[in-house]
Structure 1
């Protein structure tokens, strides 16, 4: 403690010569005066009992009378180099690293480990660059070895902390980090491989099981099922596989039963062939007896009936030419005109170009029968049935028109409801319903059907059928 009145108080054996006189415009005195009671730092030189100069770190401040605010003197604390060295305990990593604490002039305050260079400027080629910068690092040669120097400036710009470490030490640390990185990477690869194996085992094993089951299905075994305790994609796929097998087994069973029924029907049909042949022979006998007795009308009816019977139960394609179907219609009209003598007459008007077009067999005859039964039977005077077939650009028009008794409004409303709902034509009888169903099977939604009637004036049925017919789910 240094008083302005000349008093001196010190803890060492001797008072350093730098404190003999108070020079307020120099060094630590000037900084302490400018700090106005706050702590100030500076490097200073103290003299020990052996007159050996040491660079010390000095902390100083002014002593102010709190009552009068008058400056009474200064308090100075010198921290020697050995005090810093005793606080530093190098670790294994930085044992080869050198630290320097410099003042702003480049003089050494302390170093760790101590290099006995106190009171001397540090001999570094990069010292000027270090002192002029705030912080950074650079490559230098230190003790004939490539090294890295890093430096940092204190907040008050009074001191520089330098660190010098040999490049080889850094490389050793890099190698250590590199080895640690590779070790962690290797561990990660091992863990990833184990996870990949585990996941592939949980995924591929069910897939192999499914493949095995599929091979069994190919061999005809439909009783197998896939079982899984997981609800993942494989489990859902297995569930769908089981449903497919159940559906396939059901379809095969249905197909087998249908095949059995078909075989039974064929057997019954073979057995029933005896009856048509017997009927044909009987009708032929009646025909010859009628001719021998001069009954040409009976012979004509029998021949027409035989032709109709053969045409109705014939085998082969369901599609016939218009010419063939009209021939059987004429046989039917021949029989009905004998039965309903003087009840009606028929007029057939056919475009020649439609004669070779294909239509479903027995399409026109049920419509004419409907006109006779529902239009002519209850009519008192003679009526007329018009049958017209007209060629059109993309198909053919069939028109059946009579001047019979017609249909009452209530019945016609029921018929119209059946047509709109595309259900059945039971109101007009089985024949009309059969025609409508067979047209739908042959042409799908591509045919049109219209019916109009007026009580006491007759009924008109108009059908348009296209040139193509339905084959499976397509049209040809």
Structure 2
């Protein structure tokens, strides 16, 4: 066991209070932040899963609606049905035979499609047909009373496309009056004539398959699923209830998405997705409390952790205070000895922590002042060694320049002009580029640097291009970042003129416009493709590197913005097959 002695005015006690107070404040804050972050992540994850489930259900519903559409195509393409609608019979016997054929077709058809409830064919020429799962085919001379109905006009105006009416069943009777149906319709066209509309097809199906799709959405997560039509009318629900009720949540006009709302005093997650080619939306509603059970467990666990860490922090603070106080009191005792003139005082030290280091330094300060002098002497030697290395590096640079000059003169003696020109240009380029490590140079110096670079390229490319360099006289002494310009000239040669058939022309200009310095490189080379030009401009505007081919341009643009401000940078104009112009605009800086 250890003993703890408190001096209420001591540094140790004050550290204990600060440490304990910090833990008491920090732990709940960290716990709250951790809980909120985990809750947010779980909410995002749950919302994403829910939206994926709704989209999968939407895909299944789309396939089901496609099957319904195919059924309607089979019906109105039946020749006997087309004949019946148009009432094209020579006698009653032929008419009777045609009715029998239609009966047989619908009998087989409904047996194969057992979710069918009613099929209505409302002819434009006075003949209508209804076939039901319980009633035989009958003639219905009732067309005229429906032709002015909104749903009838809607289907007719669709000109053969399927119109999904949902629960807007136009009229009764149905075979199962107590059960809701899903209704869709489409115009029937004369397939043997000019494709005129000769009638309207209405098709009622049971909601079982649609309800199953909605129920499957709730297998892995709790909640309720709906198909909502126009005017927020519920077409189908996963629990089979609320049919034709008004969905009491306002849905956004977006195609799909999710949001949280307060519904009946409870926070609810609403996920929705529009069904293609319909006015329907698949909607899933789930209680956030149910979805975030894991989050609440994390919150409870966080509280337990905070309490446990708080207890541990208090005990640890007591141990730390005692551990800090003892060496401080020991150091104070020896400081009093030294103050009394005992310079032989030495703390016996076996500690490996900061206090051990403090004790060692105390011993060194009192007993070995000479070591400080030796340390200063060593530092002076190191300083001289550093200076010597800097001088050697300068000598090495001068050695490189002198060597290149020697090669240049040897090439001239042997009349190898091309090598002489390139070596001389390289030597000048290195002298100007290194420039004693300075980042800035005058415009005149940069022009000389570019001329050195161009002289090397002229040897390589022979008569491939001509160069024109123009500079306003009053800009030559202004200072600029010297490494911005040569890469642009290099790009103009490599990506412009080199790709051009025949000789080209390179124009370099420096202009003063009010308080701005404008540098322009223009070539009449291959130019840049429009898509590539848009990509480069977007990269320069956003600062995001899209392609490694544009790294040099991005680097130069970034240097300009860092050196001169965000309002300055590169500008590129190009026309494929005609050439490219690159412009740098920077403020005028100080003169040499």
Structure number with greater CO (CA < 8 Å, separation at least 6) is: 2
Give the number of the structure whose residues are more often strand, by fraction.
1
Please tell me the TM-score bracket, short chain as reference. Answer: 0.3 to 0.5
**TM-score, normalised relative to structure 2:** 0.34
Larger Rg: 1
Give the number of the structure whose residues are more often helix, by fraction.
2
